[in-house]
Each structure stands twice: as structure tokens, then as C-alpha cells.
């Protein structure tokens, strides 16, 4: 059968925005929608210990905390770390084994959403290679601690899949699963803190340029 011409490819957001999944516009991206969505998307397909699901919003906070602990990062880079999984507010958190099965289509949509989110908040469309590698390293450390503490992995399994969490201890990280509303608010709060720091840096740069 030929494809239907009226197939819907957009998502209605609670902010009232209508985000085109295939051609997302930065103008349709709102941080309130991102925080709301990520706080309701479960990491590890929901297979985690605790009364509450461990959300992508909380994971994002952990990754940003690890990233800033390991690197002398500016506010722009910290915001990129916090938003590293932002596309999942629309497309969900597909576990890595399934991403490998689905292939390039998923990644293409993810990359377009990443660009829209980053441009909305005055970041480059995609992180430069060196920054991306540092964020990925922080992501793997977060995954190590999550897998052992919450997802039933043995330490040996976690080391095999995610490597050694060098330079970071679990005591530094908010790993205990949060209620949805708390994870959402913490994500918004941290985003706001970083945006304030970014604005101050821009103000200082403008004064120096005069």
C-alpha cells in the first residue's frame, strides 16, 4: 500500500508548541517541555530499583555533575552536558542494544532534534568532537554507577560495558531515584543556574570589548 499523505509527524507539547519531528524548529523548543518530558522518561527501560523510576532528567543531572567534576568547563559546555539527552523528551530513551538494531533512522532524527535544542539555547548545533568525547566519558561513568546501584549489573559487568569510573565516587552523585516532580524541578533549576552563569560571562565579555 502507498504511504498515507496525512501521516502526522509532529508532537503537541504542553507549552502549546507543535514540534515537527522530521524538521524540528528551534522556535518550537521550550525548556519546560524538555524538563517535563525527560522527568517522565525512564532510564534502563524502567528496570531499576526503588520506588520511583530513574529518569533521564536525573541522569542528565548526574552526567553534568560528573562532567563538571572532571573538567574545567565553561558554562556553555556545562549546558551542553546537561542537554546531552534532550532529544529524548520527544523520542524516549531507547536502550543501546535496540538502537543498534534500529540503525541510522533513529540517529538521524536524534541529530536533528539535538540541533534544534542547541540552537534554541544559543549553543552550536552539535558539540565539537573534543567536547562530545568528554560528555560521553561522563555519560559512561554515570552509566557505570547507575548499572551497579540501580539496574542489577555486577561490578565486573559494569566495568566491561562502561569502563572504570576513574576520578569519581558515587557519593558525589544524586543516584537515588527521585520523584518525577522533583527530578523535573531539579533539572529546571540547574538549567537556570547555568543560564545565569552564561549571561554573566556574556556581559563581562561585552564590557571587555568596549
Grid coordinates belonging to 62 = 548526574
How would you class 51 by CB atoms within 10 Å of its CB: exposed for 0-12, middle for 13-18, buried for 19 or more? exposed
pLDDT > 70? residue 84: yes
Report whether pLDDT(177) > 90: yes
β pairing state of 18-20 and 10-12: antiparallel
- The three three-digit cell numbers of residue 130, written as one number: 573534543
The angle that helices 180-209 and 75-82 make with each other, rounded to 10 degrees, is: 160
pLDDT confidence band for 155 (50 / 70 / 90): very high
CB 20 within 8 A of CB 28: yes
As a residue count, the chain comes to 210
Instruction: Give the model's confidence band at 2: pLDDT under 50 very low, under 70 low, under 90 confident, else very high.
Output: very low
Residue that has been written with the C-alpha cell 522556535 in this structure:
27
CB 70 within 8 A of CB 135: no
Q: Tell me the backbone φ, ψ of residue 123, rounded to 5 degrees.
A: -110, 160
Report how far apart, in Å, the C-alpha atoms of 85 and of each of 3, 10, 56, 57 are.
31, 19, 7, 9
- 97 or 147: which carries more pLDDT confidence? 147
User: Has residue 51 got a pLDDT over 60?
Assistant: yes
> CA distances (Å), 170 to each of 42, 67, 141, 146, 163, in order?
20, 14, 10, 9, 15
Q: What is the enclosing helix (H) or strand (E) of 20?
A: strand 18-20
Identify the pLDDT of residue 98. 61
Does the model's pTM come out above 0.85? yes
- Reply yes or no on domain 25-209 having CATH 1.10.3210.10: yes
CA dist., res. 28 & res. 11, Å (int): 10
Least confident of 74-83, 110-119, 160-169, 198-207: 198-207
Q: Which residue from 184, 22, 16, 191 is spatially nearest to 116, judged by alpha carbons?
A: 22
Quote the pLDDT of residue 47: 96
Dump pLDDT digits (tens) for 13-22: 999 999 998 8
3 state DSSP class of 55: strand
Amino acid at each position: 500500500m502507498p504511504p498515507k499523505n496525512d501521516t502526522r509527524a509532529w508532537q503537541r507539547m504542553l507549552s502549546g508548541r507543535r514540534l515537527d519531528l522530521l524538521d524540528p524548529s528551534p522556535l518550537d523548543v521550550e525548556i519546560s517541555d524538555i524538563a517535563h518530558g525527560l522527568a517522565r522518561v525512564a532510564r534502563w527501560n524502567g528496570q531499576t530499583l526503588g520506588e520511583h523510576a530513574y529518569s533521564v532528567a536525573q541522569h542528565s543531572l548526574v552526567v553534568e555533575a560528573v562532567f563538571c567534576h572532571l573538567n574545567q568547563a565553561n558554562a556553555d559546555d556545562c549546558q551542553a552536558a546537561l542537554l546531552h539527552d534532550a532529544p529524548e523528551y520527544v523520542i524516549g530513551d531507547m536502550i543501546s542494544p535496540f538502537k543498534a538494531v534500529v540503525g541510522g533512522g533513529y540517529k538521524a532524527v536524534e541529530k536533528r532534534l539535538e540541533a534544534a535544542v542547541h540552537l534554541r539555547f544559543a549553543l552550536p548545533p552539535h558539540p565539537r568532537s573534543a567536547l562530545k568525547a568528554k560528555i560521553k566519558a561522563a555519560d559512561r561513568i554515570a552509566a557505570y554507577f547507575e548499572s551497579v546501584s540501580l539496574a542489577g549489573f555486577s561490578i565486573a559487568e559494569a566495568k566491561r560495558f562502561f569502563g572504570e569510573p576513574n576520578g569519581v565516587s558515587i557519593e558525589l552523585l544524586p543516584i537515588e531515584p527521585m520523584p518525577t516532580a522533583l527530578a523535573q524541578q531539579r533539572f529546571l533549576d540547574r538549567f537556570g543556574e547555568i543560564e545565569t552563569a552564561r549571561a554573566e560571562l556574556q556581559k563581562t565579555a561585552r564590557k571587555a570589548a568596549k
